[in-house]
Amino acid sequence: MKLLFVADPLESFKAYKDTTYTMMREAQRRGYTVAACEPRHLRWQAGQPVQAQVRDIRLTGDESHWFAEAATREAALASFDAVLMRKDPPFDAEFIYATHLMEQAEREGARVVNRPQALRNHPEKLAVMEFQQFLGPTLVTRSPEDVKRFHAEHGEIVLKPLDGMGGMGIFRVGPDGLNLGSITETLNHHGATTFMVQKFLPEITAGDKRIIIIDGQPAPFVLARIPQGSEVRGNLAVGGKGVAQPLSDTDRATALAVGRVLAPRGLLLIGLDIIGTRITEINVTSPTGFREIMDQTGCDVPALYVDALEKVVGR
């Protein structure tokens, strides 16, 4: 099987913790070939298929110098058995343009995972709206007045941009409302940008749980990302401690409910975030957590994923 990963620059990978790297490693272990490109390398010209300048690579087994490049060439996306979209957010206009190009590649016969239309239709913060039965109090707005009313009702809140990742741009405001106006102006760019506000969930002290859902089924372990020190964010990118834990019955039921809806739409891989029993985000662009769960529990999440990918491709 020939795989193309559309991702961030290979040189930026931290192989010791990168989920895309674990996918590539498992694919190569099974004898599959691996190539990579960035979204900026995609192109289409009338009368020709969607193509990209791709890098054929071989994983070395040395995580400090984790890949060797065999060749750089032009290739049609449809010439691969599967194209894996693994570009990190932001979910911006360029990301959307990339999904349109890959959707055209689908029309030419490419098999893209996760499906481009599904990626476009499920922005990671807003996808939660479909599952209100599992949400805590949540507001999406650009109005300062809406935010003030929400804060007055709930006392302690969290504000976040809709296109961020890794905990960037997240603010906590206490009952005193200190700096609420300034934070609102920062996030809504003086009324020009929509953002999200959620009631603060004190269960964050036990971790922001990342549940990996593969083809609608949750992995048996979750990664609880626990804030450290005075930090309110559990994201690993801002210093949270990742602790793998068995999936609880309550979280399994929630994950299955989400998976039953989203997997048939072409979302083979979902990263569901839960604090306490409440969904906070549904990550579909490039969910992470494989490596930490595998290292701590022995659960081979990359193998579970490539098993599911083989079913999609028909291998």
Is residue 92 part of the annotated active site? The answer reads no
Closest by Cα among 268, 264, 259, 267 to 307:
268
pLDDT the model gives residue 230: 64
Mean predicted lDDT score pLDDT of the chain? 95
Q: Which residues contact 243 (CB under 8 A, 6 or more apart)?
A: 207, 223, 224, 225, 226, 296
Topology annotation, domain 137-200: Dna Ligase; domain 1 (3.30.1490)
Task: Give pLDDT tens digits for 84-125.
Answer: 999 998 888 999 999 999 999 999 999 999 999 999 999 989
pLDDT the model gives residue 13: 96
Taking each helix axis from N to C terminus, what angle separates 301-313 and 19-29, rounded to the nearest 10 degrees? 60
Question: In this structure, are residues 75 and 51 in contact, taking their beta carbons and an 8 Å threshold?
Answer: yes
Tell me which of 3.40.640.10, 3.40.50.20, 3.40.50.1220, 3.30.70.520 is the CATH number of domain 2-113.
3.40.50.20
| Choice among 55, 125, 209, 278 that is catalytic | 125
**The pairing of beta strand 51-59 with beta strand 42-43:** antiparallel
How far apart, in Å, are the Cα atoms of 236 and each of 167, 177, 231, 315? 9, 27, 12, 35
Is residue 210 part of the annotated active site? The answer reads yes
pLDDT the model gives residue 275: 96
Is residue 160 part of the annotated active site? The answer reads yes
| Choice among 273, 278, 291, 292 that is catalytic | 273
Residues in the chain: 315
Is residue 114 part of the annotated active site? The answer reads no
| Choice among 233, 251, 291, 292 that is catalytic | 233
Where are the chain's structural domains? 2-113, 137-200, 203-307
| Choice among 86, 87, 160, 209 that is catalytic | 160
Question: In this structure, are residues 256 and 229 in contact, taking their beta carbons and an 8 Å threshold?
Answer: no
Is residue 225 part of the annotated active site? The answer reads yes
pLDDT the model gives residue 163: 85
Is residue 233 part of the annotated active site? The answer reads yes
pLDDT the model gives residue 85: 97
pLDDT the model gives residue 259: 98
Topology annotation, domain 203-307: D-amino Acid Aminotransferase; Chain A, domain 1 (3.30.470)
| Choice among 55, 87, 199, 210 that is catalytic | 210
pLDDT the model gives residue 234: 66
Is residue 87 part of the annotated active site? The answer reads no
Its sign, for the CA torsion 64, 66, 70, 71, is negative
Q: Which residues of the chain have pLDDT under 70?
A: 166, 230, 233-234, 237-238, 315
| Choice among 38, 81, 106, 281 that is catalytic | 281
| Choice among 209, 225, 278, 291 that is catalytic | 225
pLDDT the model gives residue 247: 98
